[in-house]
C-alpha cells in the first residue's frame, strides 16, 4: 500500500539498526498515536498513522493536518553583514527582504547546481533559516566555511519544527494563538503560548494554507497535544506529506533537485529575482553564477527541463522510470511519481529534453516494459490555496 517515494529516497540516511536512528522530541507521541515509523534522513519518523495515507491526504486538503518536521535544520545568521554574506551563496535577493518576510532560496555549488533548497526569514535581529534534514550537516558546514567570518552562524538543535497545513489550520491555531490569522503567505512573527516562545511563518509544503512553527524541544510535546485536541486537526505522516507536495508541484530534494540539476533546469527561475540576474543591480556574485545566469539569458545551452506529467492510463509511474518519445527514443527520467489522491490520476514530475518539454506533448513512461502514455501538463496539479490577504 505504501509504495511512496519517501521510503525510497536515494539521499536518505540508511542506518544498520533502528537503535542508531535519531528521535525527534515527538517520537513518544507518535508511538502513542499508533504511527508506523520508518528511517528517514537518519531519524525514526512516522510514515503514516492508523487513519492511513489516503485518508491523511484528504484530511489535510479539507481540514488541518499536523506534521512533525523536527528533523529539518534550523539556524540563525547574525550580524550586520549577514544578509550580504548569505546572498553570496544564493541567486536570490536577501539584502532587500523586508523584516517579517520569508523567501525561498537555493544553496548552489561552484558549478551552479543545487546542494539544497531552503526557506529564510528576515527577523530584523537575525536571518532565520530552515534547511532539509538530510542536508543540514553539510549545509551548515558549507555556510560556516563560506561566510562564517562575516556573520555568526548559529545552529538551533534545541528547536523542534511543526507544520500545520490545510484550509482549517488557521481556525485551529487561532484558538491557541490570537492574532496568528493576521499573517499572510510567506510572512512570519513571534508568538507566546503558555510561556513558550514560538516563531511562526504562514507557509508549508502542501500547496494549502498553513503554518510552520518553530518551538523549543521542551515545549513541543505539550504544544502538539494541544493542537491535536482541536477538532479539525489530525496527525499526518511522511507518506501524505509526499503526495500532497507532489500534487502541489513542489520539488523534493534528492529526487527532483540535487547536485546534478541547476535552478533553470528545475524550472525554479521564479526564485531568482531580477536584481540578481544579468543586468540587475546586484547581478551574479554567487556560487555558480556563470552557469545559472548563462542558462537564464541563453548564453549557455539548456538541454533538459523539469516537467509535470499526467498519465493517460491508471498506472502509477514511480521515480527513475525511463521516459521515451513516441518513437521509442529515451528522452529523460521520472523524478517523482504516484497516484494523486486528490486528482485521482497518476501524476509525476521528471526531466525531459527541451524538444519534448512543451505543454501537451505526449511521452511514454516505460513501466515494467510497458509504455504508459503521459501528457506534459501544467503544475501544480492541484491549485495552490495560499492565503495572501
- pLDDT tens digits for 212-266? 999 999 999 999 999 999 999 999 999 999 999 999 999 999 999 999 999 999 9
Confidence of residue 16 (pLDDT cuts 50, 70, 90): very low
Element (H, E) at 120: strand 114-122
Which CATH number among 3.90.650.10, 3.40.50.300, 3.30.1360.120, 1.10.15.40 corresponds to the domain 5-65+162-236? 3.30.1360.120
Give me the mean pLDDT over the 48-75 stretch: 98
**pLDDT reading at 9 higher than 80:** no
Is residue 29's pLDDT more than 60?
yes
- 4: pLDDT strictly greater than 50: no
In this prediction, residue 94 carries a pLDDT of 98
Q: Looking at the DSSP assignment, which residues form a beta bridge with residue 336?
A: 349
Predicted local confidence at residue 2, as pLDDT: 29
Question: Is the separation of the CB atoms in 93 and 49 below 8 Å?
Answer: no
pLDDT over threshold 80, residue 10: no
Query: Residue 165 and residue 301: Cα distance in Å, rounded?
Result: 39
Neighbours of 301 (CB within 10 A): 8
Dist CA 163 CA 35 (whole Å): 17
**Domain assignments of the chain as residue spans, ordered by start:** 5-65+162-236
Return d(Cα 266, Cα 284) in angstroms, integer.
19
Q: So what's the pLDDT on residue 20?
A: 81
Give the model's pLDDT for residue 26.
Answer: 98
- For the chain, the farthest-separated pair of C-alpha atoms sits apart, in whole angstroms, at 65
Query: CA 357 to CA 264: how far, in whole Å?
Result: 13
CA pair distance 278, 282, nearest whole angstrom? 9
pTM of this prediction exceeds 0.75: yes
- What is the predicted pLDDT for the residue at 124? 98
Confidence of residue 339 (pLDDT cuts 50, 70, 90): very high
179-183: average pLDDT: 98
Amino acid at each position: 500500500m505504501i509504495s511512496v517515494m519517501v521510503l525510497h529516497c536515494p539521499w536518505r540516511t540508511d542506518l544498520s539498526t533502528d537503535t542508531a536512528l535519531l528521535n525527534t522530541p515527538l517520537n513518544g507521541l507518535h508511538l502513542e498515536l499508533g504511527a508506523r515509523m520508518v528511517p528517514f534522513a537518519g531519524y525514526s519518523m512516522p510514515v503514516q498513522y492508523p487513519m492511513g495515507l489516503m485518508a491523511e491526504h484528504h484530511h489535510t486538503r479539507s481540514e488541518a493536518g499536523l506534521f512533525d518536521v523536527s528533523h529539518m535544520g534550523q539556524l540563525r545568521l547574525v550580524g550586520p553583514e549577514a544578509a550580504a554574506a548569505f546572498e553570496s551563496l544564493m541567486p536570490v535577493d536577501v539584502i532587500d527582504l523586508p523584516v517579517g518576510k520569508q523567501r525561498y532560496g537555493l544553496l548552489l555549488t561552484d558549478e551552479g547546481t543545487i546542494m539544497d533548497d531552503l526557506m529564510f526569514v528576515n527577523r530584523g535581529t537575525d536571518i532565520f533559516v530552515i534547511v532539509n534534514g538530510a542536508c543540514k550537516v553539510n549545509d551548515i558546514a558549507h555556510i560556516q566555511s563560506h561566510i562564517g567570518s562575516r556573520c555568526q552562524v548559529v545552529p538551533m538543535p534545541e528547536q523542534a519544527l511543526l507544520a500545520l497545513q490545510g484550509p482549517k489550520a488557521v481556525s485551529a491555531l487561532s484558538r491557541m494563538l490570537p492574532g496568528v490569522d493576521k499573517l499572510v503567505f510567506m510572512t512570519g512573527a513571534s508568538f507566546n503560548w503558555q510561556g513558550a516562545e514560538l516563531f511562526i511563518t504562514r507557509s508549508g509544503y502542501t500547496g494549502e494554507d498553513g503554518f510552520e512553527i518553530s518551538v523549543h524541544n521542551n515545549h513541543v510535546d505539550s504544544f502538539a497535544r494541544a493542537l491535536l485536541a482541536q477538532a479539525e486537526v489530525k496527525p499526518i505522516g511522511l507518506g501524505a506529506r509526499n503526495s500532497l507536495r507532489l500534487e502541489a508541484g513542489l520539488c523534493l530534494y534528492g529526487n527532483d533537485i540535487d547536485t546534478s540539476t541547476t535552478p533553470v533546469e528545475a524550472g525554479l527561475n521564479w526564485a531568482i529575482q531580477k536584481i540578481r540576474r544579468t543586468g540587475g543591480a546586484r547581478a551574479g556574485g554567487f556560487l555558480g553564477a556563470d552557469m545559472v545566469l548563462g542558462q537564464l539569458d541563453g548564453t549557455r545551452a539548456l538541454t533538459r527541463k523539469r516537467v509535470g506529467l499526467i498519465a493517460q492510463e491508471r498506472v502509477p509511474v514511480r521515480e527513475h522510470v525511463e521516459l521515451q518519445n513516441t518513437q521509442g527514443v529515451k528522452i529523460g527520467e521520472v523524478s517523482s511519481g504516484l497516484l494523486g489522491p486528490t486528482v485521482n490520476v497518476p501524476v509525476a514530475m521528471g526531466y525531459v529534453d527541451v524538444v519534448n518539454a512543451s505543454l501537451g506533448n505526449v511521452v511514454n513512461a516505460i513501466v515494467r516494459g510497458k509504455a504508459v502514455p503521459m501528457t506534459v501538463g501544467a503544475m501544480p496539479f492541484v491549485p495552490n490555496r495560499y492565503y495572501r490577504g
